Amino acid sequence: MPKLAANLTMLFNEVGFLDRFEAAARAGFRGVEFLFPYAFHADQIADRLNRFQLDLVLHNLPAGKWDAGERGIACHPDRVGEFQDGVGEAIKYAKVLGVRQLNCLVGILPQNVRREQANETLVENLRFAANALAGEQIDLLIEPINTFDIPGFFLSRTQQAIDLIGQVNAPNLYVQYDIYHMQRMEGEIANTIKANLPKIRHVQLADNPGRNEPGTGEINYRYLFGLLDEIGYQGWIGCEYKPRTTTEEGLGWRAAHGV
């Protein structure tokens, strides 16, 4: 049976962030993930994880000026120093929080930067990050994101992520495969997961259209959950969707899908 992790950036947002850990545990989740921990002291989050016996599955490296619309800086040639500092900050949090994988949002292609230059910068930044994380036995993930929701996002297809992994050539670099994003960009979800399973370390879900709960759109999640079990996927599945109403009211999808 799939291991489901509640994404606390999107779920249980009826309460404050630090209260979402208790809400997730009460709802039966044993794992959580979120975008960023950096607005809080690491000990505050560690206390919630310990108190409610939750595993922190994942969080992201710092991603630039998020509130100003930035979605990562790893492909920005003029932000390499800031990126490297962010890797160090993420490792500090990961060591306190016990997280074993960190995701890198690669960013939107900057204006007046050629794709080739952005790719070269990204490869070097990923090498730096993967090497730094390897020293702490932490995996680095990269996530293709659809360009309907985030126009200009540099990494938008599965094969592009696989190609990047080949260019970086780091043994701890993997794909974070978001079913919602890749349904919008590619389709062929089942075959893509099967073909690339050795390089997929984390999966996220939401239905399409709307990015709501499974069962609200076109994606056959009952089939996909069975497939992931069948092919031996061992990782977590992050529930990164927008509840149609409240989180609690929408959680019936789990029983309806046998998870």
Q: How far is C-alpha 231 from the geometric centre of its chain's CA atoms? A: 21
pLDDT of residue 145: 98
* Chain centroid to CA 117: 25
Q: Is residue 65 helix, strand or coil?
A: coil
How many whole angstroms separate alpha carbon 229 and alpha carbon 218? 21
Q: How far is 55 from 80, CA to CA, in rounded Å?
A: 31
pLDDT at residue number 223? 97
Tokens coding 42: 């690491």
The predicted structure's pLDDT at residue 84: 98
pLDDT 10s digits, 153-207: 999 999 999 999 999 999 999 999 999 999 999 999 999 999 999 999 999 999 9
Q: Which residues are catalytic?
A: 143, 240
List the chain domain ranges: 3-256
Residue 259 has pLDDT above 90, yes or no: yes
Average pLDDT over residues 124-141: 98
225-241, pLDDT tens digit by residue? Answer: 999 999 999 999 999 99
Average per-residue pLDDT for the chain: 98
For 26-79, the pLDDT digits (tens) are: 999 999 999 999 999 999 999 999 999 999 999 999 999 999 999 999 999 999
pLDDT per residue as tens digits for the range 97-118: 999 999 999 999 999 999 999 9
Select 3-256's CATH number: 3.50.50.60, 3.40.50.620, 3.20.20.150, 3.40.640.10.
3.20.20.150
pTM: 0.97
The pLDDT score that the predictor gives to residue 2 is 85
